[in-house]
Amino acid sequence: MKNKNPNGEDTPLDALLQEWKPKPSLPPRFQERVWRRIERAETAPAPAVSRAQLFAAWLSTKLPRPALATAYVALLLVLGATVGWSQARQENARVTTELGARYAQAVDPYQPSP
């Protein structure tokens, strides 16, 4: 028969358990390995963010700022106007040269054919 307290517990076992102090044995160079892992985790590159994600973030956080939005719209307006004007000047020069050549051809039959 085993000795049991009124609660039905095994008293020698309780005593034994209370005396027991576990002495964990760490693997060799445990501390050094832990520090190495921490170092590695700190120096590892951050998870890659795609350009689309960056653009989406810029679009939702940076662009709506009034100053940036105004500057962006103004810049595109100036850009469109500049390119349009520059191409118009090229077209002007082309048509002027072409019509001059046509006039010369009309009055001068010695002009080489285009």
Partner 1 sequence: MRRGVLILTLGLVGAALAYCCFYLMGTATPRALMRSGQPELAWLRHEFNLGDAEFNRISALHQGYLPQCKERCLRIDELNGKLSNALTTATQVTPEMEKLLNERAQMRATCQAEMLKHFFEVSRTMPPKQGKRYLAWVRENTCLREQAMNHGEASHGEADAPAHRP
Q: What is the contact surface with partner 1 in residues (CB under 8 A)?
A: 56, 58-60, 63-64, 69, 72-73, 75-85, 87-89, 91-92, 95-97, 99-104, 106-112
SS3 of residue 96 by DSSP: helix
Q: Which secondary structure element, helix H or strand E, spans residue 74, and what is its range?
A: helix 66-107
Q: Cβ closer to partner 1: 37 or 65?
A: 65
State which residue, 31 or 61, has the beta carbon closest to partner 1.
61
CB of 29 to partner 1, least distance (A): 51
Q: Least distance (Å) from partner 1 to the CB of residue 108?
A: 4
Between CA 92 and CA 95 the distance in angstroms is 5
- Distance in Å, CB of 40 to partner 1, minimum: 36
CA 12 vs CA 18, 20, 21, 42, 114: distances in Å:
10, 12, 16, 50, 118
Measure the CA–CA gap between 78 and 38, rounded to whole angstroms.
52
Rounded to a whole number of angstroms, the minimum distance from the CB of residue 100 to partner 1 is 6
Nearer to partner 1, 11 or 96 (CB): 96
